[in-house]
Every structure is written in C-alpha cells, then in structure tokens.
Structure 1
Amino acid sequence: MTLFDLVAPAISFLSVVIILVLIRRQRLGIFHSLWWLFAVFSMLFIGFFPTVVDRIGWFLGVHYPPVLPILLALCFLFVKVLTMDIERTQQEIKIRIIAQKMAAYEAELYSLKAEQSVEKAEIKIHEN
C-alpha cells in the first residue's frame, strides 16, 4: 500500500472522529449524524477497497469507474439538501403558526386589558 492509498482512509478516520465529537458535544443531532456516518463509512470502504469501484463500474458498463463515487456523492448530497429543505420548510410552517397564535393571544390580552380599564373607569364614575 502506498501513501496515496492511505489518503482516503485517513480522511475518513478523521471525519469519523469529528462527527463523534460533534455528537458528544450535542452540536449534531442523531438523524443528521447517521447521514454523515454513512457517507464517511462509504468513503472508508472505497478507500480500503478501491477495486470494488472498478468491478461495479465494469458491471454497470461505465468506461471510467472512478467517476462512480463522485456521481454517488453528488446524489447523496442532493438527497441531503432536499431533506434539509423539507425539514426547514416544516420548521417555517410551525414558526408561522406559532407567530399567528401569539398574535391572537396578544390581541385577546389587549382586549381584556381594554375591558378591564373600561370597568375600572365605570367603577370610578359610579363611586363619585
């Protein structure tokens, strides 16, 4: 094994350590960490067994097999970004609903305060 063959596994091991540290410090959620751990272990597998990519490429009829991991990574990133957008959209909807409820509660609070101040004014008028 040459130094070139050890680059992908070294990057993968470093990535695993970083992901585990982020999980431990609660900077990365479990669902998100599963995505990244899958990506890192895939990269680790390809780093240790590069001939698998050649065999899969030959089986699929790809003339230049090293492009397969790049294509798979692009597909992976597309799915990841799509799920992030779906999650963000759901959060925006929840925030909008919470803001609308808050506005309704504030309006109700202001009307109750106005009724209370009118009642106090009426009581003062009747006392005089």
Structure 2
Amino acid sequence: MNVASYIFGIVAALLALSVVIEMLRRRRLRERHAVWWIVAGLLALLLGIFPQALVWAADVVGVEIPTNLAFFLSLLVLFLVCIQQSAELTDLEGKTRILAEECALQEERLNRLEKAYSRRPSGADENS
C-alpha cells in the first residue's frame, strides 16, 4: 500500500468518529446506539495507523487475505448493530401497544363521562 492509502484510511476513520461524536454532542444519537459505531471507528483508526496489525491478526486467525478479515469484522459490527436495533424495536412495539390500549381505555372512560354528563338535568349543574 502506498502512503496515500494509509492517509485516506486514517482520515476516513477520523471523519467517521467525528460524525458519531458530533451526533452524540447534538443529542441526535444516544450513547447506547453509538457504542458499536465508536468501536468500529476506533478499530478502523487503529488499523489505519498500524496496518500490519491486520496482517498479524489474519495470520493468527488463519485468514489468507487480511482484507477478508477486515470485511468480516465490519459485517460483525453491522450484525451487532442490527441485533441491538431489533431488540429496541421489539421493546418499543410493546410499549406502543400498551400506550394504544391505555389511550383506548381513557377514550372509553371519557365517552362514558360525557354521556353521563349530558343526561343530567340542566339544573343539577348549579347545585354541584
């Protein structure tokens, strides 16, 4: 690899980290959602600074081409993000169902109160 490739990798990793940190700072991304993105960005930064670490890790794991290991690790991070998002979606669906049920019960209660109030004689309001 030439120097431009190394610099590009480092700049891309720093850019990704800065975007995640800025989104955290502006509260557009919550901490628990940013964890895997920060891990991926730091891993990319480390591999950009020390590219031989990927070659070493590929040798240790037994992967013939180091970029295949990088793709596998990237897919692993994306898989973990998908699992986290799916778990949170399931939780939110349950909470939404409970809120819809509570809203329907409140609406029914309000309708009953309105019907009971409309049946009262007009003079009963003044004595209450």
Alpha carbons 2:13, 2:45 under 8 Å: kept: yes
- Aligned pairs for 1:23-62 within 5 A: 23-62=24-63
Tell me which residue corresponds to 1:84. Answer: 85
Q: What percentage of aligned pairs have identical amino acids?
A: 27
Query: 1:104-125, CA deviations, whole angstroms, 9 ceiling, x for partnerless residues?
Result: 01101111111121223796xx
Distance 1:21 1:89 in 2: 28
Q: What is the CA-CA distance between 1:71 and the residue it aligns to?
A: 0.3
- Aligned pairs for 1:1-128 within 5 A: 2-120=3-121
Distance 1:110 1:2 in 2: 73
Point out 4+ residue stretches in structure 1 off by more than 2 angstroms. Answer: 119-123
Query: 1:70-99, CA deviations, whole angstroms, 9 ceiling, x for partnerless residues?
Result: 101101101101110110111111011101
Q: SS state of the match for residue 66, structure 2?
A: coil
Structure 2 alignment gaps of length 5 or more: none
Letter in 2 for 1:97: I
Q: What root-mean-square deviation, in Å, do the aligned CA atoms of Structure 1 and Structure 2 show?
A: 1.7
Alpha carbons 2:36, 2:80 under 8 Å: kept: no
Distance 1:97 1:119 in 2: 34
Task: Give the TM-score taking structure 2 as reference length.
Answer: 0.88
Alpha carbons 2:20, 2:34 under 8 Å: kept: yes
Query: 1:39-79, CA deviations, whole angstroms, 9 ceiling, x for partnerless residues?
Result: 10010011111111111111222111221011011011011
Task: Give the TM-score taking structure 1 as reference length.
Answer: 0.88
Distance 1:82 1:41 in 2: 21
Distance 2:92 2:99 in 1: 10
